[in-house]
Each structure stands twice: as structure tokens, then as C-alpha cells.
Amino acid sequence: MAYPFNEDHEMIREAARGWLLDWHDGGKALERVSVSGVGVDLDAWAKFAGEQGFAGIAIEEAYGGAGLGALGRSVVMEEMGYALFSSPFFSTCCLAADLLTHFASEAVKKVYLPKIAAGEISVGVAYEGLSKYNETITGLSPYVLDAGHCDYVLACVASDNKFELYLVPSSHEGLVVTQLNTLDRSRNLCGVEFNQLALKDADYCGASDVVLFDQVLRIAQASLASEAIGGAQKCLDLVLDYTDQRVQFGRKISSYQAIKHRCADIFVDLQTSRSSAYMAANIADTSNLGQAHEAALIAIAWANDMYFKTAGETIQLHGGIGFTWDYPLHYYFKRARANRTLFITPQQAYIQLASVIGLDTGINIEAQSHGASQLVGGQI
């Protein structure tokens, strides 16, 4: 058993991989989701989350989860990344579950976490552009994952120097959800407008100061580093297969050093990204928020850079076939691209990390992290 995993993790990995490979069906599922136009496979999600029990992987046992923490979750995220599974797992079981676990009252946790763990509800998280006005929530949250199909929206409303968290049924008439037509068609991304939604219609969960909120958001975001290593592993597997079959000038192209050395570089990037993702998850489970936040920034920057670079390189190494719609690489390329700017970018993560490790960048850390929370979506 390779550090930092134990036998439980390996069992979960086997189970998730097998199920997801069936779902993937040699890439047919990716095209099916793409054609559907909704960026999610809800039937598959119901089975994966409910019957298979993966939704509760990281949630504490006291709330009906498996209690395998961020490290257990990273295993599932990695396998979902490999298959490019279209589901609200990241929104619901990473973002929403972590925010509720850290900031919600005990009473709220007892109601909602078990439902998330059982796969009974899905939650999209709106954490930018929302404020309180005359006892209502108002504003536009321009990029909310999974709002087009989820059962609840977790509204994170800026109020003084903190965020107040409210759960709102997504069917509420005070919400206008507009699904966005996206480059990456394997995802459901929406604009969500809160049209003076009365606070009394929302379920108040708790509050957090902006710095802690930002830290928890980063730690949840870091689970996308695991998705990245899964996706990049798939890209590498595809290129190793392809170059082993393609013959030019009378030789398999995999025998050319021009190809071998680039695959070796991908392998180095991929393995170091594995370390970054596993380290972030391991530290999230075993250390304080500050250390977990630092490790999260490392994983976000390192693995997102690697995934996009790897997906691009593997298209190049496939030659013309890599440029076609019929070959699955473009789905991974588009997911890798989207992940770079969905939240803070690798470059922003490095600048934040610079402050965390004691570099005097001249940027106020609190203002910076507040800014990051306000400006997610890469719109800076």
C-alpha cells in the first residue's frame, strides 16, 4: 500500500474505477452528455451517489457518511476525473459539504449532511455577487456549478466582513437560473440571480469571516487537483496506446526520442501533481486550516497547470486524430481549460502562496483573500 493510502482507500478506488469505466463506455458517455446539453448525467449520478454510496465518502460518520475525509474523497475525484464523469459531486460533496461542515450550526448539519451523504439532495454553491437588502438576498452570482439541476442553492451572502450562508430550494420563484452555453459541455454552469428573495424563505445555516471562508473554499477547490490527475492519467494512457500503434518511417512512433521524452516529462508532471493532490488531502485531514490552505494553494496551482499542459501535449502527440471531435481528448482538454479559471487561477494561487510563506509582496493578505472570494470566475 503506497503512502498515504490504506486498504480502505484501495477498495474505494477499485469500486469507483470499475463502476465509472462501465459508465464511460469507451468514451460514448462523453458524447451522450455533450449532446444532452445539460452537462450532467442525473440517472448515473443517482446510482453513483445513492446505490453505490460515494456521495458520503468524506462526510463524518456522525452525519451518515463513510468518514474517509478529504483523502478518501480525493480517490473518488481522481477516478471521476479519469472517466470525466458528469455529476454534481464536486458542488455538493466538496464545496457545499465543506462549507456546511465548517460553518453551519449543529442543527442544520444534522438535517442536511445526512441527505447529502445518502445522495438524496444535490447543492450548488453561489458565493459571489450576493448581498443583503431589506431582509432579502439580492444580486447575481454569475458562475454557479450545477444550479441548473440541483435541489438547493447554498447562497453565501456578503454581510459586513463575513459571509452568511443560506440554503434555498432551487425551485424558489425568487431565483432566476440561466444555464450558460459552455466550451466544456461536460458540466452544468449557470448564472443565478437572486431577485429580492426574502430571508424568511431561506434556511439560515451559519456565518463565517471572509478569511476562514476563503480558506475552506480553497481546500474544497483543491479536490479538483485530484480530478486533474485522473484526467491527465487518461490523456497519458491514450497517448501511450496511440503512439504504440501508429507507424511512420517504418517504426512505431513511440520508439522516437522526440515522443518518449515528452511522455517522460508528462509522467514527471503527473507524478508530482499526484503528490500535490494527495498532500493537500492528507493535510486537510490531519492539520489545521492554515496548513491545509497552504497545501490547497499548492495543489490548485500545480495540478491545474499540469492538467492543461498535459491535455494540450497529448493532442499534439496524437497528430491530426487528436484534433477531431470523435476522439475523446478534446473533452479532457476543455475540462482542463475550464478548471484553470473556474475559481482562482494557478497564477493567483501562487501570489497568495507567496504571502502565506512570508514573502512581502506588498499586497494585504486579508484584502487579497476577500478579493479572491469576490472575484472568482477568473474575471479579474
Partner 1 sequence: MSLRSDLKTWLEENLTGEFECLRWRGGPGDEDAYPELRQKWEQKLGVAGWIGVGLPEAFGGRGADLMEIVAFNEEYARQGGPGRAGHIGETLVAPTIIAFGSSEQQQRFLPNILNGTDFWCQGYSEPNAGSDLSNIKTKARLVNVDGQAEPSWVIDGQKIWTSLAHESDWIFVIARAVEGSKGRDGLVFLLVPLDQPGVEVRPIRQISGSSEFNEVYFSEAITASSNCLGEAGDGWKIAMALLGFERGTSTLGQQMMFRNELNEVIELANKNGASRDLELASRIAKAHAGLEIMRFNALRMLEGTQDGSLSNEAMISKIYWATWHRDLGELAMEVMGRSSEVLQDDAFNRLQKLFLFSRADTIYAGTNEIQRNIIAERALMMPREPRGND
The site for partner 1 (CB under 8 A) is made up of 2-4, 240, 243-244, 252, 254-255, 257, 259-261, 263-265, 267-268, 271-272, 274-276, 278-279, 295, 297-298, 301-302, 347, 350-351, 353-354, 357-362
Give the span between the Cα atoms of 361 and 367, in whole angstroms: 13
Residue 103's contacts (CB-CB under 8 Å, 6 or more residues apart) are 163, 165, 205, 206, 207, 208, 212, 213, 216
Is residue 212 within 8 Å of 289, Cβ to Cβ? Answer: yes
Q: Which amino acid does the sequence have at 248?
A: Q
Category of 190 on φ-ψ map: left (φ > 0), alpha (ψ -120 to 50) or beta: beta
Find the shortest distance in angstroms from Cβ 142 to partner 1.
26
- Of the pair 100, 235, the CB lying nearest partner 1 is at 235
Find the shortest distance in angstroms from Cβ 378 to partner 1.
16
Find the shortest distance in angstroms from Cβ 368 to partner 1.
12
Find the shortest distance in angstroms from Cβ 347 to partner 1.
6
Find the shortest distance in angstroms from Cβ 276 to partner 1.
5
- Of the pair 141, 226, the CB lying nearest partner 1 is at 226
- Of the pair 189, 351, the CB lying nearest partner 1 is at 351
- Cα 204 to Cα 62, 165, 297: the distances in Å are 21, 6, 29
Alpha-helical segments (H) within the chain:
7-24, 28-36, 42-46, 69-83, 89, 97-103, 106-117, 210-221, 223-245, 257-286, 289-318, 329-342, 346-356, 365-374
Find the shortest distance in angstroms from Cβ 74 to partner 1.
13
SS3 string, 265-293, reads HHHHHHHHHHHHHHHHHHHHHHCCHHHHH
- Of the pair 122, 273, the CB lying nearest partner 1 is at 273
- Of the pair 150, 299, the CB lying nearest partner 1 is at 299
Find the shortest distance in angstroms from Cβ 362 to partner 1.
5
First to last CA, the chain: 43
- Of the pair 267, 327, the CB lying nearest partner 1 is at 267
Find the shortest distance in angstroms from Cβ 360 to partner 1.
5
In the three-class reduction of DSSP (H, G, I as helix; E, B as strand; rest coil), residue 345 is classed as: coil
Give the span between the Cα atoms of 349 and 271, in whole angstroms: 20
- Of the pair 35, 258, the CB lying nearest partner 1 is at 258
In the three-class reduction of DSSP (H, G, I as helix; E, B as strand; rest coil), residue 227 is classed as: helix
Pairing verdict, β 203-209 and 123-126: unpaired
- Of the pair 248, 257, the CB lying nearest partner 1 is at 257
